[in-house]
Amino acid sequence: MKSKINILLVLTIVLCWGSMFSQGCEVDDPGSSKDSLSGPTINVFGYLQPQYDYFFTGGDQENTFRFKRARIGVRGKVFEDFSYYFMLETSPFIGSTGDAYLMDAFVTYEANNWARISLGSFKQPFSLDVSTPCNSLPTIERSIVADQLVAPQRDFGLAIFGGNKFNRLNYAVALMNGRGLGVKDDNVKKDVMGRASYKIFRSFTVGASFRYGYPIPNNNEDDRTSYGGDFMFELGNFYLQGEYIYDEGAYFAGAGGGCGATPVALGEERDGAYLLAAYSVTQKFQPVFKYEFFDPDINIKDNLGYTERMTVGFNYFVNDNVRFQVNYLANIETVVNVDNDALLTQVQIRF
């Protein structure tokens, strides 16, 4: 089955790429030429995502109430082409200590629409799934491959962004420490990465990502290379999105996984992909389906870590600022069967 899946994904990747480059957690890049902010401004924003999780593990079923995310930030312009963006994560369920911590904080100079220069802490410009704002994800969980291979998802560095949602072409390139948030850079090498997307038709966008760096602390020799391809298709009320990521070389589990995911052991080569479909039956009700796979070591046959998952659920939008999500996660192990399906429910409030 895995070989058939890979063939389908290779065919899909021929079409691949994305159009959204979100440095922070809002949809628009601060300081973009189409930003609604003008003049010296102070705009407070954020969102809460309280959640209930029920795990089908056999025997006494584990279940819990928690916050997926609880974020608050400030953004605005201070002088002509200079803008700022600052956000804190306050959820005790993300991060290693349970304390509030700095997530995004950067200053942007907009020379023009094709050269917005940002310096500070922000998302790595790699992967359509990672670039999608956290409060706009069609499913509660990001893809496994994005959480495991695009790590750290946030870092300190310098980036240049070009284009906006009205342009066919968008791009981003960045030079980053490669160590993640709250960690001092401890090698002399930097990570270089980039992402580009092109809207072939009004309804179809393709994109690609690249990263090359040195992820291991105090190590300037062992490198890492990552590639990604993605696509988005929108026609009427139907939405389809897919992505493939390949990663090889060194890695550092201490960098953590994206969105609080627990990192797994990786082989020399690893990959994964997902395909997501959604259909807006009404303005308020949107069923969603996602299939994904993740292989932490593609050189090992019948790898115990190989994972497939199907997510079935729906989104219900009360309005633009209130959303309910219900997802059933069917985890499929191909070597050893494990009872680890889950039912996740979440409400999101934006302000």
User: What contacts 87, CB < 8 A, 6 or more positions away?
Assistant: 24, 25, 46, 71, 72, 73, 74, 102, 103, 104, 105
Length of the chain: 351
* % of the chain at pLDDT higher than 70: 88
Domain architecture of the chain: domains with CATH: 2-350 (2.40.160.10)
pTM (predicted TM-score): 0.88
Non-local (6+) Cβ contacts of 157 within 8 A are 119, 122, 174, 175, 176, 177, 190, 191
Q: Which of 252, 221, 211, 196 is nearest to 16 (CA)?
A: 196
The per-residue pLDDT for range 200-225, each reduced to its tens digit, is 999 999 999 999 999 999 999 999 99
List pLDDT tens digits, range 257-303: 787 788 899 999 999 999 999 999 999 999 999 999 999 999 998 88
Give residues with Cβ within 8 angstroms of 202, minimum separation 6.
none
User: pLDDT class for 99, splitting at 50, 70, 90?
Assistant: confident
